[in-house]
Chain A
Amino acid sequence: GQNIDQPTEMTATEGAIVQINCTYQTSGFNGLFWYQQHAGEAPTFLSYNVLDGLEEKGRFSSFLSRSKGYSYLLLKELQMKDSASYLCAVTDSNYQLIWGAGTKLIIKP
């Protein structure tokens, strides 16, 4: 079966750095997404990786290793507003989007 694994919950301190991991086992691969979802709000697009390596976008970076079936989202200089759930999703060989259950990130002062 197809599977996306990410930690259920993480806690970090304001101003620090946190890395949220995502591992996947899918039938083929055509890209990996990270979305952010604040409580009670819509998921919003953060990043898309289709090639190996690191994509940097301001305080957020996303890394992909296709050979390892692994990605991470790196958040730097954490702010209280970064408290949210972070969803990892993979497009498989049939161009179907497979979702992880999300990682709830709690930021403490």
Chain B
Amino acid sequence: ETGVTQTPRHLVMGMTNKKSLKCEQHLGHNAMYWYKQSAKKPLELMFVYNFKEQTENNSVPSRFSPECPNSSHLFLHLHTLQPEDSALYLCASSPRGEGQETQYFGPGTRLLVL
């Protein structure tokens, strides 16, 4: 049990749909992350929030829109996705958003775009 929860665990959506992924951490951390994990590829960092402020956006297409209303919650809003966006989307948190900290991951949302 990691203290980071994600919903939904699985999601199938068409290219014209709009959906949102939710992440919640119960660890009292100040930094939260969205990653994309595709088969046999390294984790791709998408967004970083530190104290609710976005500190990193790794050239992610605008069809992915993050939202961080507070330090415990993180959303990823999805619209007009492409089939190549199908992947496991992982949320993580860490105490202060520093690179040498351990990150605590949620179980991920397995996304399939048809």
Q: Contact residues of B with A, CB < 8 Å?
A: 2, 4, 40-43, 45, 90, 98-100, 102-108, 110
Q: Are B42 and A91 in contact (CB under 8 A)?
A: no
Supposing A40-B107, A42-B108, A43-B90 touch, asked if A99 and B43 sit within 8 A by C-beta, the answer is yes
The B interface is mostly helix, strand or loop, or mixed, namely loop
Chain A residues within 8 Å of B103, by CB: 45, 97
Cβ proximity bits A42-62 to B, threshold 8 Å, 1 near / 0 not: 111100101000000000000
Bound together, the chains give a CA A98 to CA B58 distance in angstroms of 13
**In the complex, A27 has a CB within 8 A of chain B:** no
Q: Are B90 and A42 in contact (CB under 8 A)?
A: yes
**In the complex, A96 has a CB within 8 A of chain B:** yes
Chain B residues within 8 Å of A73, by CB: none
Q: Are B106 and A95 in contact (CB under 8 A)?
A: no
Q: Are B105 and A95 in contact (CB under 8 A)?
A: no
Min Cβ gap A44→B in Å is: 7
Most chain-A CB neighbours within 10 Å: which of B4, B90, B99, B107? B99
